[in-house]
Amino acid sequence: MTKYIQYESYDLRSYFSIMPGHIKTCFHCGHILCSKEMHFSKVVAEDMKWDSLIPVHEFTILFQCDQCSWWCVRESWGFYETSNCMYDRLIVGVIPVGDQIEHKDDAPWLLALDDEKVYENLLNLPKEFAKFFLAK
């Protein structure tokens, strides 16, 4: 079985002007997703260390598909003093191009959360992904 062992990161604010609700179905097969709270990423951990601003971590949630093994992690955080500067990010598991070898890592999202550069090359959220988010 092919695993979604690599990942891409998206800025949800690139598409949504207000924070959308969470996703409920898989981007690939449409199956209902399981979700669970996770400890925040290294990127968020660094922001939580700020002394001059009060950091706010809203959530870090893992969404998984039991049907096709696809996954994503959504994180939201920012600073109390700058309410217009809340970050809303989505890390999406992707299959490496040309790689059909089963990967032994059962939790590839942990690699993404441990990556200090996970949000360095943010992509704009494609319209076809936006439809999976529920309105608040």
Q: What pLDDT score does 1 carry? A: 42
pTM higher than the cut 0.95? no
The tokens describing 106, both together, are 């059962």
The full DSSP string for 69-96 is --EEEEEEEEETT-TT--EEEEEEEEPP
Strands 123-124 and 6-11: parallel
Q: How many CB atoms lie within 10 A of CB 117?
A: 9
Q: What pLDDT score does 19 carry? A: 84
Give per-residue pLDDT as tens, 47-84: 999 887 888 999 999 999 999 889 999 999 998 777 66
Question: Average pLDDT of the chain?
Answer: 87
Cα–Cα distance measured from residue 31 to residue 71, given in angstroms and rounded to the nearest whole number: 12
**DSSP SS3 for 8:** strand
DSSP single-letter state for residue 18: S
How is the chain split into domains, by residue range?
Answer: 6-130
Is residue 27 a contact partner of residue 70, using CB atoms and an 8 Å limit? yes
